[in-house]
Amino acid sequence: MTFPSSRGLTRVTAALVSAFAACTLVAADRSPPRPNIVVFISDDHSQLDSQAYGSTEVRTPHMAKLAAEGLKFTHAFVASPACGPSRTTLLTGLWPARNGAEPNHKRKNPGVASLPPALRALGYEVVAIGKVAHTDYAKDHGFDSAAGPNQGFEDTVAVAKFLAARDAAKPLCLFVGTRHPHTVWSTELTYDPAAVKIPPTHFDDPTARAERARYLTDVTKADTLLGEVRTLVREHLSADTLFIYSADHGAALPFAKWSLYEAGIRVPLIMAWPGHLKPATTSEAMVSWPDLLPTFIELAGGKVPDGLDGKSFAGVLRGTTTTHRDRVFTTHSGDGNFNVYPIRSVRTRDWKYIRNLHPEFQYHTHMSRAIGPHRPLFWDTWLAAAKTKPSAAAVVNRYLEHPAEELYDLTADPHELRNLAANPKHATRLDALRVELDGWIKQQGDTQTVFGQPLLRGEPVTDLVLGNAQKKR
């Protein structure tokens, strides 16, 4: 397997400029008309928390309807389990080490090209509404316009106004992003805490159940907004519209967001495209978020720029192939001082290798260090329970302390509960995945930088407020 060199971002940018010019020429002769593309992005939604993916506890009828009308990907992944790096990778087609947005709340490096201009060169109007990039970073990515609150919309007024007023002569690529189900979750509960299903990686207690009910309430809010956007799209855009639902990473729950476990990096990806995608179909092709915009460029008749990490999977949508990637790489570097824990991984169809670059660090997130509403109530109840209950202590210890290497058989152990890295039976596989990850890190120019101030094992834990002010427990 080969990867783009870490050297030559300037060459990549030059290639993008040339590709934009080529796109313009292709667009002039293109017939039939290019499809509209609408991408609905939710915030912090793990794949399995959806009716479309088999959940029986959450109500997501609009996701289920979208899947019934189109194509559902079972093996869709993000590049990073934090908002900023994930979204920047989507918009540049480059993994974080190459685009510069490695820790959360950092924009891409100056001079790194984004991909929306490639669609603009093809004649598209390219627009972002709500949380598409992180904070105010949408202005860095070459959209025709970026509207709505950067933290993500909670109603569809801005979408309705835009679609009603726009010039319909141009094809449209519209990204819309809601903040749901990002924390702080709703205080209203539309789910019975006693009826929710606690993941096997968690400690089951009444507080955890109440918090999960709040999370699921906000998943359903995202689904409701998805349905409203689809209705507006039907009213204002032609039938030749590719509509996509996905999420930037998994839920803000233990062993999900800020981790490279499946619940953090495996996301819903559902597409409907009347006349092109057969209804109620499923694809097991492995795809990653940096692949999305290269796919759009190819579907629009353009040439995908060379040197990207993302690869078009237009062939999967056209039915000419059923496969795409044979492995995906993921990376996490941190989120301020709340989460100073760099991790890298490679996942094949059935196996995952995780490398915790600094196992001597304590693992923490907003869940375990934040002062304020982003800290879930269950963490403190888990800490209290861990003093007397071995099952709670096992969950807390697994959360706070990670080994240097982890290896999981995802077929036999989909929840990644049994680390096989020390098992001699899997030594050959472990070594092969080590070498493969080493090669990818080198090709990416990944310096494995530690961003922020870590807590070493054994050090007293300090809680943090925004701005990283510390308070000892």
Residue 10, pLDDT above cutoff 90: no
On whether the CB atoms of residues 315 and 321 are closer than 8 A, the answer is yes
Q: Please tell me whether residues 212 and 361 are part of one structural domain.
A: no
User: Cα-Cα-Cα-Cα dihedral of 368, 371, 375, 378, to 10°?
Assistant: 70
Same domain, 346 and 465: yes
Q: What is the pLDDT of residue 471?
A: 62
Residues 340, 224 share a domain: no
What tokens were used for 202?
């968690």
- Whether 313 and 410 map to the same domain: the answer is no
- Do residues 179 and 205 share a domain? yes
Average pLDDT estimate for 137-159: 87
317 with 334: CB under 8 angstroms? no
Predicted local distance difference test score (pLDDT) of residue 147: 84
State which of 309, 325, 341 marks the end of a domain.
Answer: 325
Q: What pLDDT is recorded for position 2? A: 46
On whether both 372 and 318 belong to a single domain, the answer is: no
Residue 221 lies in a domain: yes
Angle at which helices 206-236 and 378-386 cross, to 10°: 150
**Residues 87, 301: contact at Cβ < 8 Å?**
no
Residue 473, pLDDT > 90, answer: no
Q: pLDDT by residue (tens digit) across 156-195?
A: 999 999 999 999 999 999 999 999 999 999 998 899 999 9
Return the CATH number at 295.
3.40.720.10
| pLDDT given at position 293 | 98
State pLDDT tens for residues 84-109: 999 999 999 999 999 999 999 999 99
d(C-alpha 421, C-alpha 441), whole Å: 20
Same domain, 244 and 376: no
Give the model's pLDDT for residue 149: 66
Q: Are strands 172-177 and 36-42 parallel, antiparallel or unpaired?
A: parallel
Distance CA 332, CA 80 (A): 6
- The first and second tokens of residue 252, run together, are 């803000």
Residue 415's contacts (CB-CB under 8 Å, 6 or more residues apart) are 199, 200, 201, 262
Amino acid identity for residue 72 in this structure:
K
Tell me: do 42 and 191 sit in the same domain: yes
User: Does 398 fall in a domain?
Assistant: yes
Q: Give Cα 433 distance to the centre of its chain.
A: 23
Q: Say how far apart CA 425 and CA 423 lie, in whole Å.
A: 5
Is the peptide bond preceding residue 184 cis, with omega within 30 degrees of 0? yes
Q: Is 2 contained in some domain?
A: no
CA 340 to chain centre: 19
Distance CA(175)–CA(408), nearest Å, equals: 35
3 within some domain: no
pLDDT band at 124 (very low <50, low <70, confident <90, very high): very high
Q: Which pTM value belongs to this model?
A: 0.92
Q: Which domain holds residue 65?
A: 9-325
| pLDDT for res 90 | 98
Query: For 223-250, what is the mean pLDDT?
Result: 98
In a domain, 1, yes or no: no
Shared-domain flag, residues 430 and 344:
yes
Q: Are residues 250 and 276 in the same domain?
A: yes
Q: Give the rounded percent of residues in the chain with a pLDDT score beyond 90.
A: 87
Name the least confident of 2-6, 375-379, 451-455: 2-6
State residue 469's pLDDT score.
56
Query: With 0-12 CB in 10 A as exposed, 13-18 as middle and 19+ as buried, what is 180?
Result: buried
Same domain, 190 and 243: yes
Average pLDDT (219-240) is 97
Q: Is residue 158 part of a domain?
A: yes
Cα distances (Å, whole numbers) of residue 153 to 126, 131, 176, 361, 375: 18, 7, 8, 36, 22
Beta bridge partners of 39: 175, 244
pLDDT (mean) for 439-445: 98
Q: Which two tokens stand for residue 380?
A: 């403190």
Beta bridge partners of 331: 344
pLDDT, tens only, 26-42 = 433 444 469 999 999 99
Strands 125-130 and 36-42: unpaired
Domain boundary among 325, 350, 382: 325
- Kindly state the tokens that stand for 59: 């109500």
Structural domains of the chain, count: 2
- Are 305 and 353 within one domain? no
Average pLDDT over residues 450-473: 84
Higher-pLDDT residue of 353 and 152 is 353
Choosing from 325, 342, 377, the residue where a domain stops is 325
